Chain A
Amino acid sequence: GAVVSQHPSRVICKSGTSVKIECRSLDFQATTMFWYRQFPKQSLMLMATSNEGSKATYEQGVEKDKFLINHASLTLSTLTVTSAHPEDSSFYICSARDREGINEQFFGPGTRLTVL
């Protein structure tokens, strides 16, 4: 099956710093990638949808200036948490879709962000 990787798997940073998370589709071209956030014992909450070569579409309530998304190629999307604060601590998961109209999503293993 299709494989999606994320890096890093775990990051601890100080408040005020920026953190970049990479999401890669390893064996397919991802026309669309999604970024989710998941708090303990809660569901995955979609943050934004990114299509290769265009600006990301953010969900209501998600600050686009704080969560910068770049989908520079068909295999790579990055999420940058700018000026991170403790409340940004969460589990961030990306997923990718390999063909338009085919809605099975392949998820990355997730990145645990802890902001001190």
Chain B
Amino acid sequence: SQKIEQNSEALNIQEGKTATLTCNYTNYSPAYLQWYRQDPGRGPVFLLLIRENEKEKRKERLKVTFDTTLKQSLFHITASQPADSATYLCALSSGGYQKVTFGTGTKLQVIP
């Protein structure tokens, strides 16, 4: 069955460092992959989308890579700030009208 794995353990990093979160998937051929941010008690907020034919995408301090051979996406936040503390979800879809499937998320804590 399709499986999306994110590190369930919280990631603690020092302010100013680069945070790197991992999303691995199996039994899936996604057309695109998305990253969302979710704060406690709130709905997810869309951050970035990367398509299967793209290796990397950037937006301000965020960078996403997508390796369809390794079946892995890495999500980087450079110059991290305490305000970046949240849970980050990756989500995959086969595209078109196919549904989006979410990972369980990784909680990031940026320590001042």
Contacts and interface: CB of A to CB of B under 8 A. Distances in A.
Interface of A: 1, 4, 6, 34, 41-44, 46, 49, 91, 93, 95, 100-101, 103-110, 112
A6 B41 CA distance: 13
A42 B49 contact: no
B97 A43 contact: no
Q: Is the interface of A mostly helix, strand, loop or mixed?
A: loop
Given A42-B104, A104-B34, A93 B46 contact: no
A43 B95 contact: no
Contacts of B95: 103
Contacts of A109: 42-43
A107 B41 contact: no
Contact of B105 (A43, A101, A106, A110): A43
Contacts of A101: 96-97
A93 B41 CA distance: 10
Contact of B97 (A6, A100, A108, A110): A100
A105 B100 contact: yes
Contacts of A34: 99-100
